[in-house]
Every structure is written in C-alpha cells, then in structure tokens.
Amino acid sequence: MSERDRPGERGEVYRLRITEAGVYLLRNQATGKVLIGSSRELASVRNKIEFARMSRSASVLDPRMAADARIHGMGAIELVVLDVIDLRPEMSLAEVNADLASLEALWRAKLAHVPQY
C-alpha cells in the first residue's frame, strides 16, 4: 500500500513542508534575456538571489546567466514568479514535479519570443 493509500496520513508535500512551488524567470534587465526555471521551494530561489545581490556574487546563478550578471551586476537581475502550484497536503512529490514540469513547458512556449539563456 502506498503512502497515498493509507487513510489519515498526509502526503509528501505536507511531510516535506513544501510551502510554495512554482515557475519563475530571471530577467537580465540590461540585455532583456530571461532564464525560465521551476522550484519546489520558491522561497529558496528568492533567498539565493537576495544573497547574490548582497554579496555581489553571481555564483548562485545558472552558468549561462552568471557571465552576463558579472558584466552587468546582480542589480540587473530581476526575479519574477510566473506561476504557483496549488499545493494540496495529499500530493506526492512526483505529482508536484510533474505539475512543475508541465507549467515550466507552458511558460517556455508562452515566452518563446523572448530571448532566452
């Protein structure tokens, strides 16, 4: 019997304390290029970007974007949350990951006209 089938027990989302999962983009305001990504913990992404700004270090960024951030500075990098998943306590990690993959693909298609890393 899987964890989802056990009555009265909560799913992985609750156990792992996943609070906000979604799709985001990082925009280089100097070049207009964006990097689309997703995370089970958007707060962690926000914290990484804030730390990078405070430390003036682009090392937390994806290598495709880090080189431009070193040239233009972390102040040129903007974080935009595009979509957030409606998390339910009974959701499995696999369901969250599948939802994130679908949403990320949808946003990549929507923003295909925007220059991307």
* Residue 115 located in a structural domain: no
User: pLDDT tens, position by position, for the chain (117 residues)?
Assistant: 444 445 445 566 656 678 899 999 999 999 999 999 999 999 999 999 999 999 999 999 999 999 999 999 999 999 999 999 999 988 999 999 999 999 999 999 999 999 999
First to last CA, the chain: 43
Global pTM reads 0.84
* Residue 25 located in a structural domain: yes
Residues 6 or more apart whose CB falls under 8 angstroms from that of 49 comprise 26, 60, 74, 77, 79
* Residue 29 located in a structural domain: yes
- CATH code of the domain in which 23 resides: 3.40.1440
Q: How far apart are CA 41 and CA 74, in angstroms?
A: 21
Structural domain of 35: 3-110
**Total structural domains in the chain?**
1
DSSP, collapsed to helix, strand or coil, labels residue 87 as coil
Q: How far apart are CA 108 and CA 80, in angstroms?
A: 14
